[in-house]
Amino acid sequence: MAKTMAEKILSDRSGVDAKAGDLVIAPVDLVFATDSSGPLTIRQLRETGFQGVADPRRTVFFLDHAAPSPRLELSNDHVIVREFVRQSGVPLREVGEGICHQLVAEDYANPGELIVGADSHSVTAGGLGAFATGMGATDVAMVMALGKTWFRVPESIQVVCRGTFGKGVYTKDAILYLIGHIGADGATYQALEFTGETVAAMTVAQRLTLANLSVEAGAKAGICPSDGVTRGFLEARGRGAKYRPLAADAGARYSRVVDIDVSRLEPMVARPHTVDNVAPVRELKGTRVQQVFIGSCTNARLEDLEIAAAILKGKKRHPDTRLIVVPASKETFMQAMKKGYLEIFMEAGGLIAPPGCGACFGGHLGILGDGEVCLSSQNRNFKGRMGNPESFVYLSSPATAAASAIAGEITDPREVL
Amino acid sequence: MIKGRAIKYGDNISTDLIIAGRYFHLRSNFPELKKHALEDADPTFVTRVRSGDFVVGGQNFGLGSSREHAPLVLKLNGVGGILAKSVARIFYRNAINLGLPVLICDTDRINEGDELEVDLAGGTVTDLTNGARLTFGKIPDVMLRILNEGGLIPYVKKYRDIALPS
Ligand code: SF4
């Protein structure tokens, strides 16, 4: 039977010839939790009577959401996680090392693997050809305890991207366009499978952005093929031996096929308070912005910072607009430092916060005031997302964010490129 | 049969609306955390919810973060189940894992404050106030088994394994 990428990975890992709609039990190659989900995960694990995990080498914890901790309650949550990893021999990525999904891509995820994280954006690793999905604390606790879990093999929507991006238009614009097109529940219970010449030409960083936002259309996984680009990434990171190709079979069955000609796209924004509330940047022109955030597991990788730095070089942020930049990981931070991007941001009047989730979820490092507007390179703009239900969050590419920081209002990056 | 009143909301009740990120620091403090359930959608929710009430939503209920604290704070407030036209996948799985039934049905016919009666085995919801009878989508067998054990924790405690119904 011709298979989708989702069917291939779940069949391979479960050892059952599975098709969409089937339930399978499969061993999980990597399971992780964060300081956000970790304390409840650990509580549920202990509640069930398990003191440790099935395989510490396939398990990892990240302290990334409150990094470093802004409050004693969160510091105590960190203590819970640190004590657990010490007892159970599980590796811990400490405060300041970076966002879980970025570190999973940098150090753990491989094509064809089955990955479960206690965070909805665990889908990000699909950019490397993994079947990666988010689950809640109890599910993840049981994966840690048993080394496996149940999956319903999802139907897949094939997203075929053709053409080359025009100046000022990026992967983020394409995926926002897609979410606007199919809706925030357009892929619920399904996998998004990205393919076509545009995806083949994308870097791993760009593919991670595609996969990351899949969950904003409700998807269980967002998967990119594994190819020469994937191999190059893995080799550069010392994991060349983990490379294996992945592509859907010709004739695989999809619930829907969506074609996107990226050469016809323009810069997009998602307006408050849903990610599918998408419009071209030009329609929002003139919207005043008090804060620009370039960060998160969506768009804070080195190439994102490079794009933003190219726009901000020699410029100043608007006096009424704060600019907060948070590199996705310590490695990204150090590379951006060496390449001079951080200096450019600071000379432009921006500030750099430590690697981690930063302002993204509204816990610290950039909470908005009443009535304030933030333009962010992140993935979510729900009411209250950046800490204040009386504020407004718009989402865009790093380029649109950078151009808007200079103008103090939402601005098409093509005007400054 | 489970009976309770409907507390009704619209589409797109996100996990941020159910429990906001600004209460992140209370995540390990359930008695405090539960006071903020649904606060950004309806500040009156926690004062008016009664044990056994159903939270009724529209499309895409529970979208967003994987935070299990979202179904957890509903459960801690005594909510007996969730009814919606469609439910985001992680929320669905999380709620069932906590032993909280999630029923997919046409909630347009339910009004705020209506008395509801749910027949889990029979797959029906009866609105005792207006007489409407709704059928809800089948809960997958594996989830029904988890639900019948009271959630995933009691399930795994009992079986020490996870298996598919044969
Ligand atoms: S950066 Fe934002 S979306 Fe990504 S894991 Fe952190 S809080 Fe979640």
Whether A383 and B40 lie within 8 Å, measured CB to CB: yes
Q: What is the mean pLDDT of residues A374-396?
A: 97
Domain pair A5-261 / A268-415, same fold: yes
Q: How far is the CA of A357 from the centre of ligand 1 (A)?
A: 5
pLDDT of res. A154: 98
User: Which among A207, A195, A191 has a CA at the least distance from the CA of A132?
Assistant: A191
Residue with tokens 């053409």: A163
Tell me which chain A residue has its CA closest to the CA of residue B141: A23
Instruction: State yes or no: pLDDT of A388 exceeds 80.
Output: yes
Q: DSSP code of A274?
A: -
Span A70-123, pLDDT tens digits: 999 999 999 999 999 999 999 999 999 999 999 999 999 999 999 999 999 999
Specify the length of chain A in residues.
417
Tell me which chain A residue has its CA closest to the CA of residue B60: A185
Backbone φ and ψ for A150, nearest 5 degrees, come out as -100, 150
User: Which residues span the domain enclosing B45?
Assistant: 2-159
User: Which among A254, A234, A253 has a CA at the least distance from the CA of A243?
Assistant: A234
**Is B166 within a domain?**
no
Contact between B37 and B19 (Cβ < 8 Å): yes
Share of chain B above pLDDT 90, in %: 90
Share of chain A above pLDDT 70, in %: 100
3-state secondary structure chain B: CEEEEEEECCCCCCHHHHCCHHHHHHCCCHHHHHHHCCCCCCCCHHHHCCCCCEEECCCCECCCCCCCHHHHHHHHCCCCEEEECCECHHHHHHHHHCCCCEEECCHHHCCCCCEEEEECCCCEEEECCCCCEEECCCCCHHHHHHHHCCCHHHHHHHHCCCCCCC
Residue with tokens 């191999």: A231
List chain A residues with CB under 8 Å of B153: 44, 47-48, 138
A-B Cβ pairs (cutoff 8 Å, strict): 147
pLDDT of res. B1: 86
Could you count the other beta carbons within 10 Å of the beta carbon of residue A417? Answer: 12
Share of chain A above pLDDT 90, in %: 99
Please give all residues whose beta carbon lies within 6 A of any atom in ligand 1, as ranges: A 65, 99, 101, 119, 121, 296-297, 357, 360-361, 378-379
By Cβ distance, the residue of A37, A74, A218 closest to B66 is A37
- Grade residue B5 by pLDDT with cuts at 50, 70 and 90: very high
pLDDT of res. A50: 92
Q: How far is the CA of A235 from the centre of ligand 1 (A)?
A: 27
Q: What is the mean pLDDT of residues A128-154?
A: 98
Q: What is the mean pLDDT of residues B145-166?
A: 93
Contact between A13 and A114 (Cβ < 8 Å): yes
Span A142-164, pLDDT tens digits: 999 999 999 999 999 999 999 99
**Is B70 within a domain?**
yes
The verdict on A145 touching B (C-beta cutoff 8 Å) is yes
Give the amino acid at A334. Answer: M
List chain A residues with CB under 8 Å of B72: 40
Share of chain B above pLDDT 70, in %: 100
List chain A residues with CB under 8 Å of B88: 185, 188, 218
Q: How far apart are CA A66 and CA A85, in angstroms?
A: 18
Instruction: State yes or no: pLDDT of B166 exceeds 80.
Output: no
Contact between A92 and A194 (Cβ < 8 Å): no
Number of domains present in the structure of chain B? 1
List chain A residues with CB under 8 Å of B152: 138-139, 142
User: Which among A293, A288, A343, A341 has a CA at the least distance from the CA of A319?
Assistant: A288
**Is B165 within a domain?**
no
To test the pocket of ligand 1, the residue of A301, A360, A367, A393 to mutate (highest count of ligand atoms within 8 Å of its CB) is A360
Whether B12 and A150 lie within 8 Å, measured CB to CB: no
**How many angstroms separate the Cα of A411 from the Cα of each of A94, A273, A292, A293?**
37, 20, 12, 15
Q: How far apart are CA A335 and CA A340, in angstroms?
A: 9
Residues 6+ apart with CB under 8 A from A332: A98, A102, A300, A301, A302, A305, A355
Domain map of chain A by residue range?
Answer: 5-261, 268-415
pLDDT of res. A97: 98
Residues 6+ apart with CB under 8 A from B47: none
pLDDT of res. B165: 79
Q: Whose CA is nearest to atom 2 of ligand 1?
A: A360
Span B144-155, pLDDT tens digits: 999 999 999 999
- pTM surpassing 0.90? yes
**DSSP H/E element including A176:** helix A171-182
List beta partners, residue B83: B56, B103
List beta partners, residue B71: none
pLDDT of res. B130: 97
Peptide bond into B140 cis (omega under 30): no
CATH superfamily of A268-415: Aconitase, domain 3 (3.30.499.10)
**Is B63 within a domain?**
yes
Average pLDDT, chain B: 95
By Cβ distance, the residue of A47, A48, A77 closest to B28 is A77
CATH superfamily of A5-261: Aconitase, domain 3 (3.30.499.10)
Instruction: State yes or no: pLDDT of A51 exceeds 90.
Output: no
Whether A48 and B40 lie within 8 Å, measured CB to CB: no
Q: How far apart are CA A224 and CA A358, in angstroms?
A: 27
The verdict on A358 touching B (C-beta cutoff 8 Å) is no
Backbone φ and ψ for A112, nearest 5 degrees, come out as 85, -5
Q: What is the mean pLDDT of residues A36-44?
A: 97
CATH at residue B83 = 3.20.19.10
pLDDT of res. B96: 97
List chain A residues with CB under 8 Å of B67: 36-37, 136
**Is B164 within a domain?**
no
Span B110-139, pLDDT tens digits: 999 999 999 988 899 999 999 999 999 888
Q: How far is the CA of A36 from the centre of ligand 1 (A)?
A: 10
Q: What is the mean pLDDT of residues A301-320?
A: 98
Residue with tokens 């239900």: A389
Residues A8-19, buried b or exposed e (16+ Cβ, 10 A)?
Answer: bbbbbbbebebb
